Structure 1
């Protein structure tokens, strides 16, 4: 596939985009309905989503599993004002963009540097067409993920506040990197391939159940603002160790995630046994 060949996606109906409550989603992220599917609107929606909806894996640790149908994702991330991880975030955002008139391609990526052993495709992200150009769109990476879309071009670089990203070619793969104090570090690599919902279901099953997956071993929660990120892994919040009894309040006060007492106790038992 050449640079000029657009990756095609399966029909929006196969992904359930028509089931989305667009008005409820826009209220969730605090944005009005865009006047047109422009690059600027895409940028504003992307930033609003990342800063409004946290990244989190709590349902995996609560033994609920992670469902990828639009109804379930919407009930969790929009109606219950929870967060989710990459599949949930980006499948929801893909449905939003399609309802707003963007052409969207859903993709899967391998996380980590290319030089290491090949990892499974456990990350979901998107391409979106706006203004006659394509952009890498990813509202669900967590970690050092994008705050705004990145032009889909070899060598494209974006800087937003204190963070920078670069997109480049490596053979038949595209690689997203982020700038760290010691230089550029590869975040993930992907190919332009057609995917179907079943492909995402398989990747999601591995991510939410495999012993090697970090999401089954640790509490991982992140909230991004335009200038900073707050990250909780296990009982460590932004480099500071929490007491188990503080976990419930931190989830609500820092990340906007309200849990019931029994849910909070389950997470406390999990992080305590993991330490």
Structure 2
């Protein structure tokens, strides 16, 4: 059994639990251990997505990643635990506009009672539980989520979240079709290089947990707690930013961000 699977079992995972409870436990642990972060995009790490790369970066070094990393690692772990799991590829929708096609990785699951998805790579908008196709809504500190059969330009299945007005917003759409592992590196290349990529412009760290959500960019830190209260702290300078990073991120991620900021400052001094 892999190091990560052993860690999950040691954290309290039980073989006797129903599958949905097992999946929710694993998703909560992934959210706790692996933040959504795009440092490798900004520093130009072009390594291909392989099990070895993911294990070294995320498990051994204790970094996070984008969807094609966190959900790829999730897929490997779920398969190791015996789940009928495959890689899926979706297209994200932001405020009615489609992002780069098929650049959101997710996990497709077949359980005894139907089809589900698991997603640990959607920023801090995480259900922290699997979503059943045309099944019940799932509530987490990040919001209320559901998975519906819905015809769109980018697929016949839609992941949706409820907005503050009670309406349902489209998060992403896809067809229920397994994607090859090689698709992950294609996603990475597009996210790194495409001018319309949302993740090659500025740093972003995001996480969700059972107590709330957090996001950090180079201008501010935002937290939202489970009871609905929110706070935003704007950074006066680089020192404030790095203090927030050190308080929220693992030593390895902090070191990677510090190196990125040092290189950024050096490039600005030369220009």
Normalising by structure 1, we get a TM-score of 0.81
Worse-matched range after superposition: 154-163 or 68-77: 154-163
Q: Which moved more, 1:126-135 or 1:171-180?
A: 126-135
Query: What displacement does 1:232 show?
Result: 0.9
Aligned residue among 103, 112, 124 for 2:84: 103
Deviations 1:110-144, CA, capped at 9 Å, x for gaps: 10159535741110001123344332100111142
**Does the 8 Å contact 1:28/1:52 carry over to 2?**
no
Is the 2:92–2:98 contact (alpha carbons within 8 Å) kept by the matching residues of 1? no
Cα distance change, pair 26–232 in 1 and its aligned pair in 2 (3 A):
farther
**SS in structure 2 of the partner of residue 222 of structure 1:** strand
Aligned match for 2:120, one of 132, 136, 139: 139
- The answer on 1:208 being equivalent to 2:203 is no
**Is the alpha carbon distance of 1:257 and 1:217 closer, same or farther for their aligned partners in structure 2, counting shifts above 3 Å?**
farther
Counterparts in 2 of 1:254-265, with a 5 A limit?
254-259=248-253, 264-265=258-259
Sort the Cα spacing of 1:108 and 1:259 in 2 relative to 1 into closer, same or farther, 3 A: closer
Please state how far the C-alpha of 1:161 moved relative to its aligned partner: 4.2
Report how far residue 84 of structure 1 moved: 0.6
* Structure 1 unaligned residues grouped into runs of 5+: 1-20
In the alignment, is residue 252 of structure 1 matched against residue 232 of structure 2? no
Question: What are the superposed Cα offsets for residues 81-111 of structure 1, whole Å, 9 maximum, x if unpaired?
Answer: 1111101101101110111110102111110
**1:236-251 correspondence runs (5 A):** 236-238=220-222, 239-242=232-235, 243-251=237-245
Retained in 2: the 8 A contact 1:42–1:130? Answer: no
| Corresponding residue number in structure 1 for 2:162 | 179
CA distance in 1, matches of 2:250, 2:205: 11
Moved more, 214-223 or 38-47: 38-47
Q: What pairs with 1:39-54 in structure 2 (closer than 5 Å)? A: 39-54=20-35
Summarize the Cα distance change of 1:91–1:191 in structure 2 as closer, same or farther, 3 Å threshold.
Answer: same
Q: Does 1:158 align with 2:141?
A: no
Partners of 1:87 and 1:139 lie apart in 2 by 10
RMSD: 2.7
Contact 2:108–2:117 (Cα < 8 Å) also in 1 = yes
Say whether residues 1:232 and 2:225 are aligned partners.
no
Q: C-alpha separation between the residues in 1 aligned to 2:99 and 2:254? A: 39
Residues of 2 paired with 1:56 and 1:137: CA distance? 19
Runs of 5+ consecutive residues of structure 2 not aligned to the other structure: 223-231
- Aligned partners of 2:242, 2:108: CA distance in 1, in Å? 36
Q: Cα–Cα, structure 1 residues 69 and 174, in superposed 2: closer, same or farther, change >3 Å?
A: same
- Within 2, Cα distance between the matches of 1:257 and 1:231? 18
What's 2:228 paired with?
A: none
